[in-house]
Structure 1
Amino acid sequence: MLSLQEISDRMEIQDLMVRYSHAVDTGQWDLLDEVFTPDAHVDYSAMGGSAGDLATTKKFLAEVMPTFPAFQHLVTNSSITVAGDTATARTICHNPMLTPGRDGASTLMLCGLWYLDTFVRVDGAWRIARRVEEKSYMYLVTGTSV
């Protein structure tokens, strides 16, 4: 049976992952400072992205995400293990992304992945210290209209 603290920790971690998605989907890169630790390592290389520190991650996202006319990050089915002030999780991310095409036609890229995260509690708040993407699939649907 989970204690009230364990339930609270899990809910706070799930909320943190939603805040990450919100920051990315709205292009508010500075909100990521409230999601990650200052010394976080973020590895998006499994899906063709960057790997590095938080500054590298924010720069990569700020350059790449605006090239997609539409996208959403849905995070779900988190398997979270809490051990005091640290935690780990494996979370599904479904990320449809629209890529611009010619003559109004676009390509819908469906990205399925897992986030493998390590969390730490910093000054009473959970933060992501390490995030690694694990690829499940990438599927293209061409001729999609906007």
Structure 2
Amino acid sequence: MTVHEPALQRLLDEAEIRRLLTTYCTAVDDRDWDLYRTVFTPDAFIDYTSTPHGQAGTLDETVAWLSENLTLLPMTMHYVLNVDARIDGDTAIVRAQFYNPLQIPGVERVSFCGGYYNHSLVRTADGWRSERLVEDNVWFDNNPFV
């Protein structure tokens, strides 16, 4: 083992984690719930309660809720930025900023929200997967729900 192998593994892990978060965004914006499921472990817990009318639950409960509720929005476009991955062997704690322009029916102009995705990740045979996601929605511009 050379001195460079741990550094290389860390870079590979960080790149795979960023790709996982991109897959998450693509799945949500495309309403591709099969792809969404690939981001998570089967027993994942997902908490969107910081979002207006959000909920928390299992992966199956969350997919059912998202597939029902996101169909009401003509457009969402999630961006993930400033990914901070604290990797410890086969686990990682990830905090990443999100920015999401979205169109809400009946609202005159585009709304925007942002905050943090807080993931607990595990390395699986299929790569990094989230076993817990807690969304922290920090701000919401043009929020019709207040």
Q: TM-score, normalised by structure 2?
A: 0.89
Contact 1:36 1:127 in 2 (8 A): yes
Structure 2 residue 61 is the aligned partner of structure 1 residue 56: yes
Task: Give the drift of 1:23.
Answer: 0.6
SS in 2 for 1:92: strand
The residue that corresponds to 1:88 in the other structure is 93
* Aligned partner (choices 75, 82, 87) of residue 80 of structure 2: 75
Query: Is 1:100 aligned with 2:105?
Result: yes
Question: One-letter code of the match for 1:23?
Answer: A
Q: Which residue of 2 aligns with 1:11?
A: 15
Count of residues paired in the alignment:
139
* C-alpha distance after superposition, 1:25-44 (max 9, x if no partner): 10110112211000000000
* CA distance in 1: counterparts of 2:84 and 2:126, whole angstroms: 22
| 1:117 and 1:132 in contact (8 A); partners too | yes
1:85 positional shift: 0.4
Give the distance between the partners of 2:122 and 2:143, measured in 1 at CA: 39
Q: As a proportion of its length, which structure holds more strand? A: 1
- Mapped to 1, the partners of 2:60 and 2:127 lie a distance apart of 21
Letter in 1 for 2:37: D
How many angstroms does 1:134 deviate by?
1.1
Change (3 A) 1:88 1:10: same
Deviations 1:68-93 (A, max 9, x none): 11110000101111000000111001
The answer to whether the 8 A contact 1:18-1:75 is kept is yes
Structure 1: segments with no counterpart, 5+ residues: none
Structure 2 residue matching 1:16: 3-state secondary structure: helix
SS in 1 for 2:110: strand
Q: TM-score, normalising length from structure 1?
A: 0.89
* Percent identity of equivalent pairs: 37
Match of 2:122 in 1: 120
Matched AA of 1:140? N
RMSD of aligned C-alpha atoms? 1.7
